[in-house]
Structures are given as C-alpha cells and as structure tokens.
Chain A
C-alpha cells in the first residue's frame, strides 16, 4: 500500500501525504502572494470599461495609466446590445465606465443606464469642438442640463466602393440597385442605421415614420437586401468582404474601411456622401453605468481622453474623428482628410447624427417595430 501511494522522484521516495502537503503549501503561498506584493502594485487602481475593442486605448493611454497607477480592464462587446444585456441581465456589477453610440441614447435613457456626470470633475470638457459642445439632439446632455455622456470620437457612413471596380464615385444611392452589382453590395447588421439612412435617401425622417412611410422604407431595404449576398454580421465583416473582393459597394459604408483595407494591402476602398441622400454620423460617448464604484478614476480617464494629443492618438488607433479643439492639427495627413474638419457644421448637415424611432408612440412606428421588421429584411433574399 505504501509503495503504491508513493511518488518516485529520482532516488528519493515522497509519500502522497508529503506531496499533498507541499502542493497545498505552494497553492496557499500563491494565493497569499498578491497581498505581499510591492506597495505600488498593491495600490493599483482598477478601472473596468465596457466598450468596443480598442476603445480602452492601450497605447494612447499607457503613460497616463502608469503615472496614475491605474489598471484598465476592457470588457469588449460584440454588439452594442451587449451593454444593456449585461447591465440589465445581471453581470454589470463592477463596471466603472461604458461607451454608448449616439443612436442608443434614447434607449439607455429609458432603461436608466446612464448616470449623471459631474462636469466639474472634467476640466477639459470646454475643449470640445463646438458641434460636440452644443448638444442640440440631447445625446450627451439632457434637456434639463444634466450631462450623461461625454463624446470621445465620431465617424460617418455613406456609400463605400471599390474604386478598382466602381471607377466613378457614386453620386446617388441608385447605384446600389444597379443590376451590374447584384450580389456584390454589402450592408451591415445595423437596423437603426439602415432605417435611418434609407429614410434619408427617401426624403423621410426615421424618427417620425408613419405606417405608410414605414412600408416604403421597409420595401426599399428589402429590395436592397436582394442586391446583397446577405447582411454582414458587423461593420468589420463588411470590411472583410471588401478585402476579399466579395463586395464592391456598401450601404452604410464607413469611411474607416479605406484604412482597414489599406492595412490588408487593398488601397482602392473609398467612401462618399452623395448630395442626394448624404449619410449618417455617429458618435461614441463615455458614460457612468449604474453601480460604478471607481468614479473618480473614471472622471480622470474621461478628462485625459479630451486632451488633443490623446484624441489624435485615439483617432489614429480607431481611424475615427476627433472631438476636441487642436486635435485635428495633430492628425496624420491621411487621417486628417478622412473628414472635413474645416467645414464640420456643413458636413453634419449632409450627414447628421442618427435619429431613432420612438420607443413608444401612437403616431409613429416604434423602435421595436423597426427591429422586428429588420429580421424579415435579413431573410429577404
């Protein structure tokens, strides 16, 4: 019995009990070790951010994290809906910061996800560009003046195209229906964006669609879906299809595709916002979720991201737009040309921030109706 339970190591014999004793000691020591680490590590502050991958800015914010002894834990979402699923479905405890897209403001306000932000804790806030500082659509500031979000980046979608195939820049959304491009058109799984932009093309407003308007927009999108080989799961997926040559045009085409494709060796992806139909802008903003417990660090993080140098670095890593004064001048020439910073107000007329259908209404089609109809459009091949 003794021999069977022993562990042979070289010439020495250790009993199982002895082995377990040492193993237990090592395990306990490993568990206790963190409490005896250096004071600097022991005082490390943790900031948990739920956001898109890359929005925790590991490079741009590296120096700030070291200087302030902050350990940032990014919890990445696969789709924007992960935020409400996590916070409302449980599991959102410990989150200190989230980012929300401008089109989710209405929903998150109704769900009570966005907590008031103390503007005095963010000294760099006045540095926002005029458009992002004056919140006409109440995306970041409530009508009563309570701030619930701080914009951190922005972008715009229009028509993206592969200039090696589509040799002339599209001047209208009609090109998406050209039989030459049947099966070669992309469209991301973004129902609210799709309804928003389709409504704009048809001269309607997606936040005020009557039943008749709704049917018109839905039919337009169904026809467009037939031009695709299926709705892409994400904007990144559209980019992959451009790179692989599966598509040559895309509805809700994101200006950043040019950079993503270029990194993959394809320099021919461009994006335009035609005079007729224009495009849609979006902006991500930082917000405090319910139960955030490291609020001071969260404020410090937001404040730091509003510095021009950090904004320029963030825009570079995200291939996005900057939201503060003095940052556009620091951008690489290619990135600076992505959006027209010298005439932003004019650009936001052509591609305004998305407005979504109401959550409840007797007069207009609601968000739920739009999302339900989108499932039919996705299968409308």
Chain B
C-alpha cells in the first residue's frame, strides 16, 4: 500500500504529461484570443496617433495626455466611481441581508425565493431599465399613486434622470448576482457557530460583527468588486435614466470610438479605467491582508 508521499510522487509527473498540456490548450487559446489579444491591441492603439476612424504611426503619448488632461473625463470618472461605489455598497448590504435570511430564516421559502432571484436575471437589461422609467416617471406608478392619494399636487420629478435613478436601476440589475454569490458563501457556514456564539452571550449585532462578517469578508469583497467594475463602467443605464448629473466615463469612451472616431483616445481612456479597477482590486486585497481577514478559513 502506497503512502501519501508515494501517491504524491506518482501524481506530480502527470501534470507535465503531454495530455495535460493538450487538455488545457483550448482554454489557454480562448483566453489569449478573446482576452489577452484584445487588450494587447488596445494597448498598441492607445500609443498610436489618431486619424479619423483609424490609427497612424508614430507612437505617441498624446492619447494619454488628452485623456488625463480632460476635466470632463475627470468629472465623469469621479461620477463613475461614486455611482459604482454606491451601487456596490447598497447591493452588497442588501444582498448580505437577503442571503442570510435565505440561509438561516427562509425555511420553506428558500427555494421559491432563490428561483425568483434567478428568474429575474432572465429579464432583459433594457426592459428592466425601462421598467424603472415606468415606475419613477412623471406619470409613473409612484407619482400617480401619490397624486391620487392627494399627497402631492405635481409629479415628483427628482425621482428620475439623475444619479439616484441610475443607482436604483443598477442595484436592481446586480442584486440577484450578489445574493447568489453570498448565499453560496454562506452555505458552508455551520449554524452551530452562531448557536455557540449565542450561548456564549453574543448579541445579534456581535454575532454579525464577530462571526459572520469576518467569515464573509472575502466573498463580500468579491461581490463588491464584481458590482463595482460592471456598474462603474456601464454606459447604457446613464444614457437612458442618468440625466445630466448621472453621466459616466463609459459614455465618453463609447463616443471616442463610435462618434468622434478617435480610437487611441478611446483605448487610452479604457486602459486608464482598467488600471483604476486593478488599483481598487489591489487596495481591497491589501485591506484584507492587513486586517488578517484573508487568512480566515472555513472549518467543517
């Protein structure tokens, strides 16, 4: 009978066998073709000279100078970060509460609610945005109800076409994903942990602060980043319900590529945005390391 070490020795060489390389080759090619190659092209474009809907030699930093020197870009980037952060915080806070309820309190409602969460993801993105226009608009459900109840004399116009409506629609779009991620993370959390904490005198707030949140730190950060990256880079929602105060950097990137035809500027702005996301990721990872939350491991 082989010992554990013997088995390890038998297994290790298999990773270097040609069959292993062949198995991983299709995935590697996909990543190279559809992720690394486009980014490499973007990098190259961002250093080329802009022509009208084309790129020219020589290589230059002009696109980066223009992207960083634009006050509009800076304002839109700040708006993107603010809207992305608000969307992420609200989504994660709501998602965590819903996931906790589903895991420990929902009982027989667990499966139907999970099903509804997944079903809501099947609705078209645009349909959901337009649904919010129907709800928040001057003749929308909220305004008509308030008017009929005599609570207001004129429709409330601050509900739509501003950053608030953008955040609301984005939370609605991303919340199901956050709930599913956090629910999956909570699944292995043994209810006995919470019972033991309670037996030891921990209040509900303490159980959240000392048990659940430390254990959920890494999944929460993942969910936060997922929502932040997608919402901060969105360019459709702001155009439909953003108003003048809800515009974001993605709209500017789209304009550089499609309307203005300055491809290097679009590429440079995109890469700067990507760099911003990488910095956010590294900062949050560093935060986890500093607080020691990255070393918490599940125990069965």
B260 pairs with A368, CB closer than 8 A: yes
Residue among A81, A111, A225, A245 making CB contact with B244, cutoff 8 Å = A225
A7 CB-CB contact with B under 8 Å: no
Q: Given A85-B257, A189-B239, are A375 and B252 also a contact pair (CB < 8 Å)?
A: yes
A14 CB-CB contact with B under 8 Å: no
Considering the complex, give the chain A residue whose CB is closest to the CB of B144: A245
Residue among B161, B247, B259 making CB contact with A191, cutoff 8 Å = B259
Q: Which of B135-143, B172-180, B200-208 contacts A (4 or more CB under 8 A)?
A: B135-143
B258 pairs with A79, CB closer than 8 A: yes
- CB proximity to B under 8 Å, residues A325-381: 359, 368, 371-372, 374-376, 378-381
Residue among B139, B251, B252 making CB contact with A245, cutoff 8 Å = B139
B72 CB-CB contact with A under 8 Å: yes
B258 pairs with A229, CB closer than 8 A: no
A274 CB-CB contact with B under 8 Å: no
B246 CB-CB contact with A under 8 Å: yes
Considering the complex, give the chain A residue whose CB is closest to the CB of B54: A88
Residue among B72, B239, B257, B258 making CB contact with A233, cutoff 8 Å = B239
In the bound complex, CA of A189 to CA of B252 (Å): 13
B226 CB-CB contact with A under 8 Å: no
B214: chain A residues at CB < 8 Å are: none
A225: chain B residues at CB < 8 Å are: 244
A82 CB-CB contact with B under 8 Å: yes
Q: How far is the CB of A224 from chain B (nearest CB, A)?
A: 11
B54: chain A residues at CB < 8 Å are: 88
In the bound complex, CA of A183 to CA of B155 (Å): 12
Considering the complex, give the chain A residue whose CB is closest to the CB of B245: A381
A8 CB-CB contact with B under 8 Å: no
- CB proximity to B under 8 Å, residues A63-91: 79, 81-82, 84-85, 88
B87 CB-CB contact with A under 8 Å: no
Q: Given A110-B52, A376-B72, A379-B247, are A230 and B242 also a contact pair (CB < 8 Å)?
A: yes
Which residue, B161, B162, B251, has most C-beta atoms of chain A within 10 A?
B161
- CB proximity to A under 8 Å, residues B51-76: 52-54, 72, 75-76
In the bound complex, CA of A234 to CA of B251 (Å): 14
- CB proximity to A under 8 Å, residues B229-282: 239-247, 251-252, 255, 257-262
B258: chain A residues at CB < 8 Å are: 79, 81-82, 84-85
B245: chain A residues at CB < 8 Å are: 230, 379, 381
In the bound complex, CA of A381 to CA of B75 (Å): 13
How many chain A residues sit at the interface, stated as a range, is 35 or more
A359: chain B residues at CB < 8 Å are: 52
A84 pairs with B53, CB closer than 8 A: yes
Considering the complex, give the chain A residue whose CB is closest to the CB of B161: A229
A49 CB-CB contact with B under 8 Å: no
B227: chain A residues at CB < 8 Å are: none
Q: Given A244-B138, A246-B160, are A88 and B53 also a contact pair (CB < 8 Å)?
A: yes
Q: How far is the CB of A228 from chain B (nearest CB, A)?
A: 7
B259 pairs with A371, CB closer than 8 A: yes
B53: chain A residues at CB < 8 Å are: 84, 88, 111
A183: chain B residues at CB < 8 Å are: 157
A127 CB-CB contact with B under 8 Å: no
- CB proximity to B under 8 Å, residues A239-269: 240, 244-246
A119 CB-CB contact with B under 8 Å: no
Considering the complex, give the chain A residue whose CB is closest to the CB of B143: A245
B134 CB-CB contact with A under 8 Å: yes
Q: How far is the CB of A88 from chain B (nearest CB, A)?
A: 5
A142: chain B residues at CB < 8 Å are: none
In the bound complex, CA of A379 to CA of B244 (Å): 4
B75: chain A residues at CB < 8 Å are: 379
Which residue, B52, B79, B240, B251, has most C-beta atoms of chain A within 10 A?
B52
B133 CB-CB contact with A under 8 Å: yes
B134 pairs with A244, CB closer than 8 A: yes
21 contacts across the A-B interface (CB closer than 8 A)? A225-B244, A229-B160, A230-B162, A230-B241, A230-B242, A237-B240, A244-B133, A245-B138, A245-B155, A246-B157, A359-B52, A368-B260, A371-B255, A371-B260, A372-B260, A375-B251, A378-B251, A379-B75, A379-B247, A381-B243, A381-B245
Taking Cβ atoms with an 8 Å cutoff, the residues of B that contact A are 52-54, 72, 75-76, 79, 130, 133-134, 137-140, 155, 157, 160-162, 239-247, 251-252, 255, 257-262
Minimum-distance CB pairs A-B, first 4: A381-B244, A230-B243, A229-B161, A81-B258
